[in-house]
């Protein structure tokens, strides 16, 4: 047996004749939209940009100077043969991918490229170190 409750009542009334007016043009030519773009931001002076670029690149110079003072021994890479060359090429490629990301790419395409280059670089580096350990 169901329960029936009277909740309320609604009364609707409609006008006898529909309102007549101009029909909207649906497919005709419309007025041109004028977009307003904001003014581009001002760029810093060239001196500031160049100083920032030098500040960013200075750690590389400091690294090379520190390597020369410490006396980095790169002679063992000759013993690595092809693995050493491919490992260094992979490291250089990874640095170039980072530069490409900084200048023009997005994160997802950079991750794809780093995966494609990073895995072989890891393998060649592992083989290089294993060969160097076996020789000593």
DSSP per position, 37-80? PPPPPPPPPHHHHHHHHHHHHHHHHHHHHHHHHHT---TTHHHH
Dihedral in degrees, nearest 10, Cα atoms 94, 95, 98, 104: -110
Which residues have CB under 8 Å from 91's CB, separation 6+?
121
CA distance 86 to 72: 20
Q: Over the stretch 85-128, which tens digit does the pLDDT of each residue have?
A: 899 899 999 999 999 998 898 999 999 999 999 999 999 999 98
Summarize pLDDT for 10-62 with one digit per residue, the tens. Answer: 888 877 766 665 556 567 778 888 888 888 888 889 999 999 999 999 999 99
pTM of the model: 0.51
């Amino acid at each position: 047996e169901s329960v029936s409750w009277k909740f309320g009542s609604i009364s609707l009334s409609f006008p006898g004749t529909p309102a007549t007016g101009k029909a909207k043009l649906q497919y005709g030519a419309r007025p041109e939209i004028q977009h307003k773009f904001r003014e581009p931001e001002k760029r810093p002076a060239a001196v500031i940009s160049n100083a920032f670029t030098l500040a960013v690149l200075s750690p590389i110079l400091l690294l090379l100077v520190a390597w020369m003072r410490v006396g980095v021994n790169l002679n063992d890479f000759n013993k690595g043969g092809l693995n050493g060359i491919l490992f260094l090429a992979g490291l250089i490629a990874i640095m170039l991918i980072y530069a490409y990301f900084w200048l023009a790419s997005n994160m997802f395409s950079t991750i794809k490229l780093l995966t494609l280059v990073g895995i072989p670089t890891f393998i060649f580096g592992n083989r290089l170190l294993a060969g160097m350990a076996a020789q000593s």
